[in-house]
Chains A and B, each alone.
Chain A
Amino acid sequence: MALPRIDSELWQDVLAGDNAAWSELVRRYQALVYAVVTRAGLSMADAADCFQQTWVLLFRHRHRLHDPSRLSAWLVTTAKREALRLRRRADRESGDPTDMDLASQDPLPDEAMEQLERQAQLEIALKELDPRCRQVVEAFFFAPEDKSYEEIALSFGLSVNSLGPVRRRCLERLKQILAAHDFADVRKKGDDSL
């Protein structure tokens, strides 16, 4: 199976006017932007505005994004900035001193934003696994109950001896996808150059 198109490749196509590449990037990162704007304590109307405005700003300033491998960090930074701006505006308009106190606390601390970014990156990689591999990984790490190794093997119609190589192959594949996306180093900071 071919490796997925990484952000830098998609970004080149976006710059060349390829709307399909833009849509793919939106679909790839929409959950991340959504997670940021819905954690900011905004009304749903303001959250929708913030979500939209984040994408508008990215597209409007697309020729100034120097390092597209930092796209996720840029989106988080921009969504957070827009969310805080809308939050301050909403609090000013409400004139409620309780809201003002809340606004002085950062509802989107950097550490939480970094975790969201890492989470989104892992989910992107998981989605790019073939369905069977994804099921194997999810069975091992996201199963709601603590299934035994034998039970997991049985659920895939495999012998216990066969499950090991399948799991190993899926793990290798996941690592390849993460590396291809340059997600292994997820501690890059947001590109504030825009």
Chain B
Amino acid sequence: MLAEAAGRTPRFSRHLASCPDCRELVELFRTFAVAGNLPLPDAPAGWIAGAEAVAEQRKPLEQLKRLVADLILDTWRMPAPVGVRGPGALDQRRLRFRAEEIEFDLRAERRVKGWALIAQTSSPTGHDEKTWLEVDGKVHFAGADGLYQWWSARPPKHILFGIGGRMVVFPELAWKKKRST
């Protein structure tokens, strides 16, 4: 780095003495205190795409077509066979929703200090950088595999899913269940 070497290398010091432009530029770079530090690495492409999609996701609601998702499967509502009615049955839950042609799968698994969650959608348009999932105010974007994965201290309650200029509103989720007898 010439800027770094400016004060140390005799040849460069001599050059600076006779080059006002170079002195000015060295001073400029010293002002920014960056000699030796460039360049800052870019964030992963998926992170950037997610940040760019924030504006799309936060469009005024009237610009988005609202769809209301219907719950079509809830493993906590299914009658459990004899032998699997123990407390362990409450540690996992699978929910499936449908809104028009969009299907949405959510799996929740209780861990020691919270919940591990994974979701995926099946839609003719699939997932891309413009799709987003908002869970209790926090936005998630799909990984390269198309899966939304996150961890939360509490199970999800309010979910919105944005896809192709539409916003799917999910019914509020309740997480209290009486154990099967």
Please report A residues at the B interface, Cβ cutoff 8 Å.
14, 17, 19, 22-23, 26-27, 30-35, 45, 48-49, 51-53, 55-56, 59-60, 93, 115-116, 118-123, 126, 137, 140-143, 146, 148-149, 164, 167-168, 171, 174-175, 178, 186
Contacts and interface: CB of A to CB of B under 8 A. Distances in A.
Contact of A119 (B11, B38, B43, B50): B38
B52 A26 contact: yes
A171 B139 CA distance: 43
Contact of A14 (B50, B55, B141): B55
Contacts of B40: 31-32, 34-35, 116, 119-120, 123
A122 B29 contact: yes
A17 B40 CA distance: 29
Contact of A59 (B3, B5, B25, B58): B58
Category for how many chain B residues contact A: 35 or more
B48 A27 contact: yes
* Chief secondary structure at chain A's binding surface: helix
Interface in B23-48: 24-26, 28-29, 31-35, 37-44, 47-48
Interface in B47-66: 47-48, 50-52, 54-56, 58-60
A19 B38 contact: no
B113 A22 contact: no
- For A22, A164, A174, which residue has the most chain B Cβ atoms within 10 angstroms? A22
A115 B58 contact: no
Given A140-B22, A146-B5, A52 B55 contact: no
Given A32-B40, A167-B21, A115 B34 contact: yes
